[in-house]
A and B are shown apart, each in its own frame.
Chain A
Amino acid sequence: MDWSTIMWWVMAAVTVIPAVMIVLSKDIVRLAFWLLASLTGVAGLYILLGADFLGFTQVLVYIGGIMVLILFGIMMTNRDAVLMRRGETTGGAMLTGVVIAAATALALLKVVKDTKWKEAAPVEMPATTARVGEALLTDYVLPFELVSVLLLIVLCGAAYIARRRPEET
């Protein structure tokens, strides 16, 4: 086994095992840290796939941004630890959820196994940053601008909602 194969197995484990722990974890803070680990694993897999730009963006956006946001959310709502823990879910709802998830897993895995995917011989990927940037500013310029504006406005809206005020009426 060469080093990239070893790295792949390491990264796959770093991705999947924490994902399992997210399902099992009872504590919301641990759960958030398992998510952190899992998303780091995805960043590693991106880099192994030759998508270096995405790998670093994943670290910046998810680990630097979204994870911090989630941890802030937990921190600011964690005055009463009991309520932050797992609620009394009914057995039926639990079972339905698990059955649907298992069916999804089986269907996807069967599809992955049975399909004859188009698979080009692996080539060395050149650095992607310039190519992604070029695509974003040519073919994808309209969605790029639109999503940027969305982000701006959604953040304003979210800030508005987060500042709670009792209604006057």
Chain B
Amino acid sequence: MGPIGLTHYLVVAALMFALGVAVVLTRRNAIAVLCGLELMLNAAALNFVAFNRFGSPERMDGQVFTVFIMTLAAAEAATILAIVLNIYHSMNTVRVDEVDSMKE
């Protein structure tokens, strides 16, 4: 198996990212979709940290960017959950395909 190198981390991140895409595209439950999005963001963040460690460990760019990604993920999660709560209270459902009063 050899020592753990950059490629190992990248494979993990690639799998996570693709699984996140699968969740986002196949789920209809808004909260499940949010979980898929978190997977995608975390996969990208893992890439940043891994590239930072193996590519340019003397600088902190990748890690700092990851801090920002976490902050933005928190902001996104708060927003979407507020919206989901609001919809639930008016419709008692959080499935995106049922929330379709727009199509005439």
Chain A partners chain B: yes
Q: How many residues of A contact B (CB 8 A)?
A: 90
B97 and chain A: residue at smallest CB distance: A87
Give every chain B residue within 8 A of A159 (Cβ-Cβ): 82
A-B pair count, CB < 8 Å, reads 246
Contact B67 A54 (CB under 8 A): yes
Give residues of chain A (79-127) contacting chain B, Cβ–Cβ below 8 Å.
79-80, 83-89, 93-94, 96-98, 100-102, 104-105, 108-109, 112-113, 117-120, 122-123, 125
- Interface: B101 (CB within 8 A): no
A28-B60 contact given A69-B81, A159-B82, CB 8 Å threshold = no
Give residues of chain A (138-169) contacting chain B, Cβ–Cβ below 8 Å.
140, 143-144, 147-148, 150-151, 154-155, 157-159, 161-162, 164
A8-B8 contact given A70-B34, A132-B60, CB 8 Å threshold = yes
Chain A interface, >50% SS class: helix
Which of A51, A134, A147 interacts with B49 by CB under 8 Å?
A: A51
Q: Which residues of B contact A (CB under 8 A)?
A: 1, 3-12, 14-29, 31-32, 34-36, 38-39, 42, 45-46, 49-50, 52-57, 59-61, 63-64, 66-68, 70-75, 77-79, 81-86, 88-90, 92-95, 97-98
